Structures are given as C-alpha cells and as structure tokens.
Amino acid sequence: METRHCVGFLDTCPLSRGHALIVAKRVTQTLFELSPAVQAEVWKTAMAVREIVKRRYRPDGFNIGINDGAAAGQTVPHAHVHVIPRYRGDVPDPRGGIRWILPARARYW
C-alpha cells in the first residue's frame, strides 16, 4: 500500500504471518519528528493495512506500535509503525501484550 507520504508492506523478518510495516517516505529518526498531518496519514495507513491483514490472514488480535529510540529497541533509524497480527496459542499466555518488553514489570495481575 502506498500513499503520498508513506508506504505499507510486509516485514521481511516477520514476527507472525502478516506482520507489516508502515514507513514514512520522509526519513526521520522518530515518528514524532514528522508533521502532524504526516503522522495522521501514517496512522490512517496503519488502520488500512490492519484491515487488509485482517481479511487476508484472519488473526485473532493485533499488537500495533513503534520503537522510539535506541533505548526502546529501535534498530532502524527511520520512522515506522509495526502492525503485528496475533493468533490464539502463539504464546502460552498473551496477557500484558507489549508490557512484556520489560519482563520483570509485565505481570501486574
């Protein structure tokens, strides 16, 4: 998928079937360096890509997000959003979702 300011495509190293990226055409380290209008277009494209992935792969849920800065695990210095389909049984206990990026603090229940 392509819009004026961004492109969406399947990740070349997917975490799950249908893992996609939405990448801004303008190269910036972080999504927050983009104008509000371009940020809005990125999120609108993420919604559209999510719908395509939902129809094509039939996941049971999604994790959608960004890694903003090296301390957050960002390895590609180019603003992008991950759309990661999730499937029942892909992990033993999915509760907490993205909270598991800090495993010692993830379990709050």
Catalytically annotated residue among 5, 19, 78, 80? 80
- Beta-bridged to residue 62, according to DSSP, are 85
**Can you tell me which residue has the tokens 């892909």?**
90
Q: Is 82 a catalytic residue?
A: no
Supply angle C-alpha 32, 34, 37, rounded to 5. Answer: 110
Which residues lie closer than 8 Å to 1 by C-beta, 6 or more apart?
7, 8, 9, 45, 48, 49, 52
Among all residues, which ones are annotated catalytic? 80
